[in-house]
Amino acid sequence: MNDVSARIQHLREDFSKAVLTENAAGTEPFVFFERWMNEALDAQVLEPQAMALSTAAPGGRIASRMVYLRFAHNHNFSFYGNYNSLKGQHLNAHPHAALLFFWPELQRQIRIEGQVNQMPTEQSAKYFNERPRGSQIGAWASDQSQKLNDRKQLENTEQIYLERFKNQDVPCPPFWGGWTLSACYYEFWQGRPSRLHDRIAFELHNQQWLKNRLSP
């Protein structure tokens, strides 16, 4: 048995901070999402807007990565990135994805699934213009997911764009922008003792949200 396995096999955390009832979850999952997100913000959870984004290649191979939620409104969840990246390629070929928020400080997670659409160019540009200048330059410098010879290659490319846009505003790259996931499924998870966790799911059916408790 390797050292990592030996160290993790006996790790146990019994969850007992809160309960999740059907009554508390209500009938509107986005409203409950906002409630939990606000509680995470109030609890000063480390980067509560960070979420795992899972996408699928045409052949079914799954990839996950952490991204930031930037806007959330009425079942729509928006994030940004490079359209030529692996996630961009996946979403172009298979425009469905899953999001996962995990807040261990609160012993909670939220899973969301839905169809993904690319944002209008004007909307992406508006957000890009609000980003820190260093992040704007980084968007131009990073040929995301492509192989590099070394770190120096990336830093040299950054210098090229620092000079190119010196003393002027940095425009939004044509290969960079946002996506919006429109939720059709939510699952709220609250850790409970003895691994008998609370799970409440909402699924959109004929424009109505159907709520069910799931076995842990």
Catalytic residues: 195
Phi-psi label, residue 18: left if phi above 0, alpha if psi -120 to 50, beta otherwise: beta
Whole-number Å distance between alpha carbons of 70 and 79: 5
Token couple for 64: 């996950």
CB 113 within 8 A of CB 184: yes
Q: Amino acid identity of 154?
A: L
CB 161 within 8 A of CB 137: yes
Nearest to 69 by CA among 30, 43, 21, 120: 30
Q: Quick count: other Cβ atoms within 10 Å of Cβ 173?
A: 19
SS3 39: helix
Whole-number Å distance between alpha carbons of 28 and 26: 6
CB 114 within 8 A of CB 97: yes
CB 54 within 8 A of CB 100: yes
Structure letter (DSSP) for residue 172: P
